[in-house]
Amino acid sequence: MITAEINLTLVLRGPFLTKSSAIGAPGVDAPLARDADGRFFVPGSLVKGKLRDAWRELLSVAGSASQPEIDSLLGRDPVDGDWGRYPALLRFANFRAPLGVSKRKLRTSERIEIDRERRAVRKGFIQFIEAPFLANEMVEFSGLVKFRCRDAARATQIHKFVASGLAWVDSFGADRSVGYGELLEVRSSLAIAANMNIGDPAMPQGDRFALTLQPLEPFCVTRHRPSNNEFDSDCSIPGAVIKGALAAMINETQGSRSGAPITIQTDTSRRELCQHFHLLRITHALPAAPGKPRPSPPPLSLAVYKEAKQDRYRDLALRPAPAIDFGMAPTFAVDWKPTQFFHTAAAYGWPDLNQELRVRTAIDHETRCAADKKLFAYRSIVPGENVWHAEVDLSFVPEPDRLAVRTQLAATLGGSLSAIGKTKATARVTFAPSPRVAELVPEGSGKNMWRVLLVTPALLSDPRDLRPSQDADAGTISRDVQFAAYQKVWHGLSNGLLQVVRYFHDQALGGGVFLEGRFQKGSAQYWPWLLTEPGSVFVLQTVGDPVAAQNLLTGWQTSGLPLPGWVDELYGRDGLPGSHWKLCPFIPANGYGEIACNVSLPSDLKDKPVL
């Protein structure tokens, strides 16, 4: 397998316009798109779309001989009833103008509309367009097209396809019909990089090791969508996304569809990695400032008290009931102010991340206009210098094959991971030994209590147990019903060693059209997944052998919570248990159900007033 980059430079003739999704300077109706560094750019998605159109036109003229596989190289949408993934092999970065050009003083041009009847300017129809490029001025936009393939010959062929396709394009951007954005020249070169050698000494020893990602461009990993056409990125990168990107890289080397499942037949040179791919556990990658450790979600048992108009923080998990401290009742996260959220997140190690909004639309190939009902927006995370920390766990892989899986994993990544999230971002990858975890010690007056904090979402409560009681308000679940559901699941997971004393929790539903079609297609009834959210805290009491309970919690903290038995029953079908990776996305191997026990209050919050 090789990693290849096509260095492209598009030489455009001014004027030129690609509209920004952000608000521009006062009085400017159409500002140019800028990236996080303030540089003008041509979106990689626009270049990709123009290349697709060019290949289609060339195919209609020249026929199929020696033509690129458009769907394989550029991806395609699934047809109705098909919930497979068909991502593109080629990943287009944004094409950026030189920094000096982007720092020019604001200059605008004006466009008007003529009233057809009066043959004069139509009232109110004047547009001010940001115009840093003079008419007939040549401006260069440079960017990369990245991909992985089996050998140099294939990379050279793809380079030829891309260069010839872009040479067919006449212009880029908006207002092309009035002379904007004429393409004068395309310059390209191919660079091929070798991957990390198998057995590289940078790969740490052991069954668990830390994985650090440094994204090189904005990424969008959605979880909850505010609307059907809006995609807001979560700040973490789930283990499922990391494994999906890794699977795509393996498939690309074999010329397979990058969304195809990984099996033992996928790649014989990586036999052990492919055979045990489903047993490979990768935790969620959580953001941290450079040089800082992996953060922890603030516990929902954390409360704020007011003392002389100042905030004081207390973790109330071990208190039998919320106490009246400083002469007032506590305030929990649901009622916090934004400043309290920001301060608490910073104290637990979460960096302040920037976001950028990009509004996009699909273009109809026939009309060359915006396609109907294809407008959508990405709100992506701008990584800056921050890094994302995760952990790789090979303990579920059979011991004789662990060494082979480790070395094949290192060779596959080769120092980078690509195709992350919806923007197909690339990240640098480094390995390190896993941080040492302190020995667990029980808490409470009887030294038999444990505070279990959910670091990532987990499937816990059986939704069939959460039915409203007859005397409850419509659609509400009583406290006793919810408590009984959690008591049942923790009793089952611990084989009767632990019982719930109290809990502080938040829940959300996972599902929707895509997940239902991908994981529950053919089921008699649709059941969304009820997830208990990160930050939820369960105070558990040892009721059995204390040593066995301690060992059990240590194992959970190391390898994640197992799925409750009801998951196999409720979601199982076609002879597979409901916990199988083909039927459930929220499994421990994908980073779900990660816990931390007895997390201490950060020093920034401990008994310190916050103004």
pLDDT of residue 516 exceeding 60, the answer is: yes
Sign of the dihedral defined by the CA atoms of residues 284, 590, 492, 536, in that order: positive
Residue with the bigger pLDDT between 61 and 473: it is 61
Q: What does the block give as tokens for 331?
A: 């305030």
Q: Which of 424, 382, 485, 55 is nearest to 244 (CA)?
A: 424
Task: Kindly report which listed range (101-110, 387-396, 493-502) carries the lowest average pLDDT score.
Answer: 101-110
Find the mean pLDDT for residues 450-475.
Answer: 82
Find the mean pLDDT for residues 377-390.
Answer: 91
Work out the pLDDT band at 112, boundaries 50, 70, 90.
confident
Q: What is the DSSP track for 170-231?
A: -B-SS-GGGTTTEEEEEEEEEEEEPPPPTT-TTSPPSSEEEEEEEESS-B--BSS-SBTTEE
Work out the pLDDT band at 411, boundaries 50, 70, 90.
confident
What per-residue confidence (pLDDT) applies to 79? 61
Residue with the bigger pLDDT between 101 and 598: it is 598
What per-residue confidence (pLDDT) applies to 196? 37
What average pLDDT is seen over the chain?
A: 85
Pairs from 520-529 (Cβ < 8 Å, separation ≥ 24)? 520/571, 520/583, 521/83, 522/573, 522/574, 523/571, 523/573, 527/463, 527/570, 527/571, 528/463, 529/459, 529/584, 529/585, 529/586
Q: What is the DSSP track for 482-538?
A: HHHHHHHHHHHHTTTSEEEEEEE--EEEE--HHHHHHHSTT-SS---EEEEPTT-EE
- Residues 17-60: tens digit of each pLDDT: 888 877 777 878 788 888 878 888 888 888 998 999 889 888 88
Sign of the dihedral defined by the CA atoms of residues 135, 140, 143, 145, in that order: positive
pLDDT of residue 80 exceeding 70, the answer is: no
Task: Kindly report which listed range (18-22, 49-53, 257-261, 393-397) carries the lowest average pLDDT score.
Answer: 257-261
Amino acid making up residue 39: R
Find the mean pLDDT for residues 142-152.
Answer: 86
Work out the pLDDT band at 200, boundaries 50, 70, 90.
very low
Q: Which of 19-33, 78-92, 264-278 has the highest mean pLDDT?
A: 264-278
Work out the pLDDT band at 438, boundaries 50, 70, 90.
confident
What per-residue confidence (pLDDT) applies to 322? 64
Find the mean pLDDT for residues 567-594.
Answer: 92
Task: Kindly report which listed range (216-220, 351-355, 470-474, 494-498) carries the lowest average pLDDT score.
Answer: 470-474
What per-residue confidence (pLDDT) applies to 198? 37
What per-residue confidence (pLDDT) applies to 473? 60
What per-residue confidence (pLDDT) applies to 422? 86
Residue with the bigger pLDDT between 443 and 253: it is 443
What per-residue confidence (pLDDT) applies to 109? 78
pLDDT of residue 520 exceeding 60, the answer is: yes
Q: Which of 103, 76, 105, 100 is nearest to 88 (CA)?
A: 76
Find the mean pLDDT for residues 53-72.
Answer: 77
* Euclidean distance between CA atoms 541 and 537, whole angstroms: 13
* Euclidean distance between CA atoms 336 and 289, whole angstroms: 25
Task: Kindly report which listed range (3-7, 174-178, 284-288, 474-478) carries the lowest average pLDDT score.
Answer: 474-478
Among residues of the chain, what percentage have pLDDT more than 70? Answer: 91
pLDDT of residue 429 exceeding 60, the answer is: yes
Find the mean pLDDT for residues 138-147.
Answer: 90
pLDDT of residue 437 exceeding 50, the answer is: yes
